[in-house]
Amino acid sequence: MRKKSHILLARYIAKNTEDEELKKHRLSFYIGSILPDCKPSFVYKKHEINGTFPDVKKMVNQLIFGKQQGKLTRKRRYYMNLGQVTHYVADYFTYPHNKIYPGNLKDHCSYEEQLKRSLKNYIMSRNMEAGEKVQADFSDAEALYEYILERHKQYLGRKINIETDIRNIVATNRMLVEAIADLFYKTQHKEKMPLAVEY
């Protein structure tokens, strides 16, 4: 996805979340959502599920449990890293970021330009409100990872087009952000954050 698409998605997530800390640190979240495209590794490390999913798992573990034992704080860096996670997961559901994509670099850029316009229209028209309702209650981080992998497998098994990409990008990332917050609260505070996200 293009940087503008990642920021558009991040704004939508921040606007519609129940997480007041995310709303407070939304600028860090926006920066994180484009950061993977600004790193030197962008040139040689493709943003495909086969290449970056181990990194995503590591980042999610740090978001839920912290780097070391002790109290994890949810400040600017936390939300910047959360933005990076949404970036990679959005790219997993972007057709040109999958090995089955038959096009070249020019086709890739053209597809992402169309995706950018369509994503903007989709979010602005609020078509997603009439979409599927997803309730996700994960017992642990591994269950979340399995869900993402299974959803991606189902995505690859369907007819892929820009509309399919958008529905998967928006639904998976909204659920992901809420699930990470829920797992954080379960781990850090031993309490459950309510989790019912409509798409």
For range 29-51, the mean pLDDT: 82
The set of residues, in sequence order, having a beta carbon less than 8 Å from that of 108 and lying 6+ positions away, is 96, 101
Q: Which of 127, 150, 165 is nearest to 5 (CA)?
A: 165
pLDDT value at residue 199: 44
Residue 122 corresponds to which tokens in the numbers above? 């989709």
Angle at alpha carbon of residue 72, lines to 66 and 76, rounded to 5°: 95
66 falls in which pLDDT band (50, 70, 90)? confident
Q: Are 90 and 9 in contact (CB under 8 A)?
A: yes
> What are 1-10's pLDDT values in tens digits?
899 999 999 9
Q: What residue segments make up the domains of the chain, in order of their start?
A: 3-198
Is the pLDDT confidence value at 44 over 60?
no
pLDDT value at residue 46: 76
pLDDT value at residue 48: 85
pTM beyond 0.95, yes or no: no
Residue 195 corresponds to which tokens in the numbers above? 């989790």
> What are 120-157's pLDDT values in tens digits?
999 988 645 544 444 667 889 999 999 999 999 999 99
> Under CATH, to which class is 3-198 assigned?
mainly alpha
The pair phi, psi for residue 99, each rounded to 5°, is -60, -25
Beta pairing partners, 198: 133
Q: Are 185 and 193 in contact (CB under 8 A)?
A: yes
| Rg, C-alpha atoms of the chain | 16
> What are 93-106's pLDDT values in tens digits?
999 999 998 989 89
